[in-house]
Amino acid sequence: MVNTGPRGRSRRGDILFTFALALGLCLAWLIRDVLVLLYVSALFAVIFAPVVQAVSKVQIGRRRPFRGIAVLVLPLAIVGVILAFGFFALPPVIRDLQEFSREMPSRAPGLLEKIRHLPFADHIDLDEVGGRIQDFASSAATHLLVSIKDWAGKLFQIVMGVILTIYFILEGDHAYRWFLSFFAPANRERLDRTLQRAEVRIGKWLLGQGSLMLILGITSTIVYLALRIRYAYALGALTGLLNVIPMVGAAICIALALLVAAIDSWGRVLGVAVFYLIYLQVENSILVPRIMKSRVGLPGLAVLVALLLGSALEGVVGALVSVPTAVLVAELVDEYLVNRSE
């Protein structure tokens, strides 16, 4: 006999809910890349929304020229900065590369002679080394051709992320209200207040990150000028801009600075290496915890743990959004899990 009472209906509902939950988790796992892209785009929309609002309020005389296109000013400004950097920084680099290629045939014998006088150089077969370099170059070229598809996929994700961020800025309020409609009115108001507080704190993260970029850009430019490294201003600006990408940005800047310094002398290479060793320690132990604590209200330990977890889960993208995500999680935990005494 089938149980059709309230108890039987409740048990059947629990079974259906369990199956639906399992199906939803399985579907979420299958489309996890899309969900991560949506989350990152929505988070960047929250971060850049105050900037777009500030741009829309800019007045020139009695007019607000950016009111209708404020959301497009930010990507256009980024593209303009990239083009300006290329216009001022690339010509001297290209000129030096052309000069180096012209002088390479005359400098090659002297360079080989210096290599032969290095310690243990008599145990090195230069012909074998040259063959290995050629094999490495050919394998690298093959790998580059194979990875073009992966790079195209990454580029497509970046473009879609920018488009989604713009749409979230324009229509994010409707999506936000639709999300809140799934909750009961009493819970809806509480969640709304919590997310509004998190939005204010997340917006301040951009100011903190901008402060870190400015500090690194200025200090690195001063060090490059003191060491008389080529392209000091361009390298300093690039160092500050790439600091927005945790870990990877610093690695790229260190590699470029060391490569440029190696053109002139090993002493400058040592100076750049010492500067970065000291600065990375100061940034990770003092600047990042204190600046982010003052901006977003997170303890230094929480910031470092968030960076480690974000980079371990999603690499560069995870590290990039780790601190704003930690702010959101901290606000939700503080509202729903922390027991406050009267």
List, for residues 262-280, the tens digit of each pLDDT value. Answer: 877 788 888 888 998 898 8
The fraction of the chain above a pLDDT of 70, given in percent, is: 78
* pLDDT tens digits for range 227-249: 888 888 888 888 888 887 766 77
Beta strands in 89-193 (DSSP E): none
Place of tokens 């194979």: 146
Can you give the pLDDT at residue 171?
82
State pLDDT tens for residues 251-263. Answer: 788 888 888 888 7
List the single range of 16-25, 124-133, 203-212, 322-331 with lowest mean pLDDT: 124-133
In this predicted structure, the answer to whether residue 205 has a pLDDT above a threshold of 70 is: yes
The model's confidence at residue 120, banded by pLDDT at 50, 70 and 90, is low
Higher pLDDT, 11 or 196: 196
pLDDT on residue 247 = 67
Average pLDDT, the chain: 77
The pLDDT of residue 9 is 59
d(C-alpha 273, C-alpha 232), whole Å? 15
Q: What is the pLDDT of residues 284-312, one digit of tens each?
A: 778 877 777 777 777 777 877 888 888 88
Domain boundaries, the chain: 28-182, 186-337
- Check if the beta carbon of residue 17 is closer than 8 Å to that of residue 298: no
More confident residue, 44 or 130: 44
* pTM of the predicted protein model: 0.70
| 132 pLDDT higher than 80 | no
pLDDT of residue 260: 84
Give the mean model confidence (pLDDT) for residues 68-87.
77
Residue length, the chain?
A: 342
Residue 242: Cβ within 10 Å count = 18
Decide which of 39 and 304 is more confident.
Answer: 39
Residue 139, phi then psi, degrees to nearest 5: -65, -35
Measure the CA–CA gap between 227 and 236, rounded to whole angstroms. Answer: 13
123 compared with 176, residue with greater pLDDT: 176
**Is 60 exceeded by the pLDDT of residue 126?**
no
The pLDDT assigned to 110 comes to 62
Kindly write down the DSSP assignment for every residue of 278-321, as one continuous string.
HHHHHIIIIIHHHHHHHHH---HHHHHHHHHHHHHHHHHHHHHT
pLDDT higher than threshold 70 for residue 339: no
